[in-house]
Amino acid sequence: MILPPAILGMLGGGQLGRFFVAAAHEMGYPVWVLDPDPHSPAALIADRHLLAAYEDFAALDELAQGCAAISTEFENVPAGTLDYLDKFVVVRPAAAAVSVCQNRIAEKTFLRDQGLPHAAFAAVHSEQDLREAATGLFPGILKVARFGYDGKGQAVVANAEQAIAAFQQFKGETCVLEQKLALDYEVSVVLARDESGIVTSFPVAENSHRKGILDVSLVPARASTELRAAAAALAARIAEGLRYIGTLAVEFFVVRGELLINEMAPRPHNSGHYTIDACITSQYEQQVRALCGLPLGEARAHSAAAMVNLLGDLWYETTPAGHHYREPDWSKLHAFPALKLHLYGKHHARPGRKMGHFTVLDGDPERARQVAMAARAAIGIVDAP
């Protein structure tokens, strides 16, 4: 076991890293953050900020020399960086697992090879691949294979011609073409797996999106007990197949009552933010525990929860004179006594940027949802999720 006051390292300095730092601090671990952003939210509360690129080997050497173990908060840290650090220090999750999640083709191929349920897809390296794509893949969604998230790098296409036009807009970047599905709803599982293979899963969340970005998560998901158990079991199979150590998130589509795996994230997840307030152990504490070889904590929820994302759009008010930048009136949220507000300390708000979230707790799931939706409207999010 790696015990306090050993120093932990974090690659990436966004809100997920910030919550990791907070969890590690509560457990007695100092944290160094490596991130190229001088305004990194995680670095603001870290013990040290290495302001450097993820492929700056001098900075990586310094991180490896100073830290007992290193993790990451987002999947786009170069796998080569993780491989390099692994020569000198404990790195979890491993580069091999992260690299599968970094590329949609590798991810879909992994699911296929593991015999796990997923939507039909085709790898797209050229326009000819689209001309030869099976007609059953249309209408479909063309997605860039790397660096696409929160709806970015995606286009809904009705036929091969539209797909080729979208491929050209993506500048010929390698893509996957996925069959467009009529969804019942979406759910996600966040779990932790330790070095001995023990898995603990948090309650399944039901998720709704707005403009391709997670809007609301409800816990427990309004799904059958059987479906929730099946989702947790599939997520555990993925963790086992990846030989994963750390916190992992798996997103699912529910189509005609059946689960299809959408994608996985080798890190804590937006839909798991509720665990900070509603569970005995948060997804971030589990990340610390798995990284340090500690026994995993109890993942059980002590209340129902409804989580709502707060995007940068809230910082802009439309008036006859145009768009006006102003801080939202947080007193409107503090008026709800069972609401927990989390703001990420980001330097500048912009539309679509995740700036914070709130979670409403209640013994009754429907009441938590109703209060959350009332608070969501009060702060100015007026369209239906």
As annotated, the binding site includes: 104, 143, 148-154, 178-181, 186, 209, 262-263
In Å, the largest CA–CA distance within the chain is: 61
- What the block records as the tokens of 232 is 């947790």
CB 52 within 8 A of CB 59: yes
Alpha-carbon span 89 to 378, nearest angstrom: 48
For 134-161, b/e burial (b = at least 16 CB within 10 A) is eeebbebbbbbbbebebeebbbebeebe
CA 151 vs CA 63, 93, 147, 383: distances in Å: 33, 25, 11, 18
Alpha-carbon span 168 to 286, nearest angstrom: 42
CA 242 vs CA 2, 4, 153, 293: distances in Å: 23, 28, 26, 18
Walk across the sheet containing 8-11 and list its strands: 48-50, 31-34, 8-11, 69-72, 90-91
- What the block records as the tokens of 21 is 């730092």
Annotated binding site for ATP: 104, 143, 148-154, 178-181, 186, 209, 262-263
Q: Is the dihedral of CA 225, 244, 293, 35 positive or negative?
A: negative
Alpha-carbon span 300 to 220, nearest angstrom: 11
CA 154 vs CA 28, 48, 332, 381: distances in Å: 42, 36, 35, 24
Alpha-carbon span 246 to 97, nearest angstrom: 11
